[in-house]
Amino acid sequence: MARILILNGPNLNLLGTREPEVYGTETLADIQSLCEKTAQPLGLTVDFRQSNHEGDIVSAIHEVVKGGFAGIIINAGAYTHTSVAILDALLAVKVPVVEVHLSNIFRREEFRHHSFVSTAARGVICGFGSQGYALALQTFVKKG
Ligand code: CA2
pLDDT digits (tens, 9 = 90+) for 118-142: 999 999 999 999 999 999 999 999 8
- State which residues form the domain around 66: 2-138
| Atom 18 of ligand 1, residue of closest alpha carbon | 15
Domain count for the chain, please give it: 1
The verdict on residue 65 lying in a domain is yes
Q: Write the pLDDT tens digit of every residue in 62-92.
A: 999 999 999 999 999 999 999 999 999 999 9
The answer to whether 47 and 6 are in contact (CB under 8 A) is yes
CA of 19 to the centre of ligand 1 (A): 9
What gap in Å lies between CA 81 and CA 115, rounded to an integer?
Answer: 5
What CATH number should be reported for the domain holding residue 114?
Answer: 3.40.50.9100
Pocket (CB within 6 angstroms of ligand 1)? 11-12, 14-15, 17-19, 23, 75, 77-78, 80, 101-103, 105, 112
Residue type, 4: I
Burial of 13 (0-12, 13-18, 19+ CB in 10 A): middle
Burial of 101 (0-12, 13-18, 19+ CB in 10 A): buried
Give yes or no for residue 1 having a pLDDT over 90. no
CA of 1 to the centre of ligand 1 (A): 31
pTM for this prediction? 0.97
Handedness of CA 50, 109, 90, 68 (dihedral sign): positive
Looking at residue 19, its pLDDT comes to 87
